[in-house]
Structure 1
Amino acid sequence: MTPADAAELLTFCAAWDQRTIGESDARAWAYALRDLPLDDDTRQAVADHYGVTKDRATPADVRRIRTRIRETRIGAAHPVYNGNPTETGAEFAARRREQLTAAADGTLPPQSIGYALDATPPRSVLALAAGVGRPVDDEPRPYISPEQRSAIRSTLPNQRASLPALAVPCPVETCRAAPRRLCKRGAGVELRATVHGRRRDAHAVQFATCPECGADPGRNCTAPEPHPARIRAIAAEDDEAEQHRLARLMSTPPTPRENRARHTAGGIRR
């Protein structure tokens, strides 16, 4: 800003505060605002100052309000500089400074942050999002079929299918549970997480080959009771079978839900 520009700006201020302007005033203002031009933003800063106060404007007031005006434009423009892989640091700083100056001058129009980042979803995604929801009085479709749910539940703990020994009757005198029936202890309470030890042994004899004595399935071991290795073998086989079964069920992709309209406070959204 030159002394002539400062004199013109002081004349503009005098329209509100009727100040007396001299050559020394113009030189002092020009030196205080030497890095600012006399443009519309500077004049608007003076007008904004006298629009809210009766106090005389100072160079500091003009600088502060002018900066606020230009920062507001930058914030509304959301300038995003993608850069250039071949540019130097000095070139990046110069081009970024030019972009911010353009936004502050108002030559870079205001835009949303999503538009500035080119983050608007494609039309296909917007079309799918518009169809999300369903009427509240409709019965929602299950995520998986009832058959899949039943099969998965059968592999969970404390369920009958997770107790392979239920395939044989319980030989305990006080129980005598039939196949697929839970064992019972005193007072008729069912054992949901386990079975009697003798029933477990009977299951091992019925379905496993003994690794220690070589007894085939259905034949007793050479010892009075099944060898521990035979019991461990049938337990390992059962665990592996259950894991494969669960993995097969979980690898089956669920049936996708249909996109339906949903009632909202503003009506039905499609």
Structure 2
Amino acid sequence: MTQDEAVLLLEYVAAACPAQRIGEFTPDVWGELFAPYSLDEARAAVIVVASQQPFVAPADVITEIKARRSERIELANIVYDGDPLETGAESAANIREIIRAAGDGLTGPSSIAGSLGTAERLALPPGADHDPYEGRAAAARAAIGRMPAGRDSSTDPRSRPCRRCGAAPGSSCTTAGRRRQDVHPVRLEDTKRTAAGLPLLDHDQAEARIKAAAAAALALTRDDQEQEAVAS
């Protein structure tokens, strides 16, 4: 993010939180704090933070940015095969480049990226080496183009919205505002039915079906335990 973009971001913050105080040197500080991030991802994070609290602190915005970047990196399913002609330092640099590209959202969900060789570096567009973001974009496109297609996203529950918590495609489910490690059962059910070409169940019916299946599995487990107790 440039200093001018930091000013735009603060104007956005002021519009979202009119009571927030913005001083003469606030743009300078925010420009330094948000230099590693793009204006678009910072603005998206401001929306989330401003919807939860009356004031927007840089630390809260950066925490939100990092959380979303971590999600994109996780969903990218990065696999690095390496290049026998590259040095250890080049290998580490390529891995960092691809991870940054995944965090920027340049690789897309469920993609598989590999190494960036000398030919791809030479094929970068003019000026890409002077613009870190454009360089990462070109590097990611070149690396992805050399690898086979990724896993089928139709089987990934996070590739579709969640009807339980409203999570958008590519985002994790949440409970009480906190990110879940797994997805809501109804989101998994919807994914399985879509992959099988079946219509989605009514939300209440889907919840009832999942609860019934869980109860049946629990009852079956108890029966097995009782039979084992009798047999022993």
Q: Normalised by the shorter chain, which TM-score bucket?
A: 0.3 to 0.5
Q: TM-score, normalised by structure 2?
A: 0.45
Radius of gyration: which is bigger? 1
Which structure's residues are more often helix, by fraction? Answer: 2
Q: Which has the higher contact order (CA 8 A, sep 6+)?
A: 1
